[in-house]
Amino acid sequence: MKTSHTFSILFWINSSRSTNNKADLFLRITVNGRRANIGLKRKVLIDQWDKKAKKVKGTNAQAKAINNLINESQAKVYSIYQELKYKEELITAQLIKAKFFGEDEGAKSLQEILTYHNEKIEKTLSAGTNRNFGVTQKYIDRFLKKKLKTNDIYLKQLNFKFISDFETFLTSYYPKGHFKAMSHNTVMKHIQRLRKIITLAYHLEWIDKDPFVRWKPTFEVKQREFLNSHELDLLERYKFPIERLDRVRDLFIFSCYTGISYADIIALTKNNLMIGEDKNLWIITKRQKTGSPVKVPLLEKAEEILNKYENHPVTEVTQSLLPVISNEKVNLYLKEIADAAQIKKNLTFHMARHTFATTITLSNGVPIETVSKLLGHNKIATTQIYARVIDSKISTDMEQLKNKLKN
């Protein structure tokens, strides 16, 4: 979308600082009321300056040389302005001045670091993480076009105001198909991704200073949903007449008893089954998201589900341990499953990992360090986001404490 600008060029002499009746010649660029002065490094006799024509009077060689400089400078500035306007880029008086002197030729732009970052992470990060960075980049592009009326901006122009304005833009943006704006935490995630990209530019020495140095992210604490033992039992016992719902329920229950994410479950094959030192069956794999190793001893309920699909026609074709279903369909069918089993919570597949962390492990006395390893986390702090000590565990622990104090 093209945007109109107020743009003007003015040649003038600084007669207030004249020496021997000679004053410096200047070119003034004005864009949207903002000015930038360019010294043309020429002296003009004050009484020979035509204030109305903005040129030097006379036809001698010196007058012709200065007037030619004025014409050339005017043509150059106008050409820079037209080029920026044609490309729908950011237009400011200072930017035109920088281009006039060629100061921006070695400067890197925001789009350049975005392209470099995309190439860098393409084969090093998971598909999901790459997709998330892609979504953030789309919002950056929309912000540039809608708010700054440009397709790109120099990295050296980034400052705290740019970050603050981008945050405001995201806060009031309604994603397509959504009935409300982004949540505060989602906005913070997008800005954090932008920060990682700009930090990369800083380390590459594409910019001299980090514009995020004074920016601090703030996150709202969200209560993570999980199924309690009663709800989990309802889900396990319900008899689904539709086979597709039965399969999705099995995948969900398997995750509840292993803590393995959806993306990692559908990638499991017989090669991931091992006999551990305890002579029991283990699943050994790596998290697709982070590459962290995951080693999970199979609980009885999880092993029963594997046995159910051992010689199933679906798994024989895919050579996977469990049926492969798309993520979109899984979460769609989980809504039907919740309604059928009379579970009032918003059932999503990720809730299974929360259920494993709380109802299956922590509430049954499994130390958080062990739970962290089972979930494939590198930091216990990450596990603490998932894991929540439920009321029944608090009650049990306090009863044990009472008994100890009595004795």
Domain ranges of the chain: 7-101, 110-203, 229-403
Give how far the C-alpha of residue 404 lies from the chain's centroid of Cα atoms, to the nearest Å.
50
Q: Which of 115-124, 329-338, 385-394 has the lowest mean pLDDT?
A: 385-394
**Alpha carbons within 13 A on the beta-carbon side of 21:** 5
* Residue among 30, 40, 33 at smallest CA distance from 10: 30
Torsion on CA atoms 43, 46, 47, 53, rounded to nearest 10: 90
Contacts from 170-177 at CB under 8 Å and sequence distance 24+? 170/139, 170/143, 173/139, 173/142
pLDDT exceeds cutoff 80 at 309? yes
Q: What is the mean pLDDT of residues 24-50?
A: 93
Q: How far apart are CA 231 and CA 270, in angstroms?
A: 31
The CATH number of 229-403 is: 1.10.443.10
User: Per-residue pLDDT tens for 189-226?
Assistant: 999 999 999 999 999 989 988 999 999 988 877 777 89
Q: Which two tokens stand for residue 171?
A: 């806060």
Res 391: pLDDT: 63
User: Per-residue pLDDT tens for 236-286?
Assistant: 999 998 999 999 999 999 999 999 999 899 999 999 999 988 889 999 999
* Residue among 255, 237, 189 at smallest CA distance from 217: 189
User: Per-residue pLDDT tens for 386-405?
Assistant: 766 666 667 777 888 888 88
Res 143: pLDDT: 94
Tell me which DSSP letter residue 110 carries: H
Torsion on CA atoms 44, 48, 54, 60, rounded to nearest 10: -80
Q: Which helix (H) or strand (E) holds 7?
A: strand 7-13
User: Per-residue pLDDT tens for 337-373?
Assistant: 999 999 999 899 999 999 999 999 988 889 889 999 9
Q: What is the mean pLDDT of residues 97-119?
A: 84
118-146 b/e with 16+ CB inside 10 Å = b?
eeebeeebeeeeeeebeebbebbeebbee
Confidence bin at 1 (pLDDT 50/70/90): very low
User: 367, 348 in Cβ contact below 8 A?
Assistant: no
Q: Which residue has the tokens 């400052």?
A: 159
**Alpha carbons within 13 A on the beta-carbon side of 113:** 26
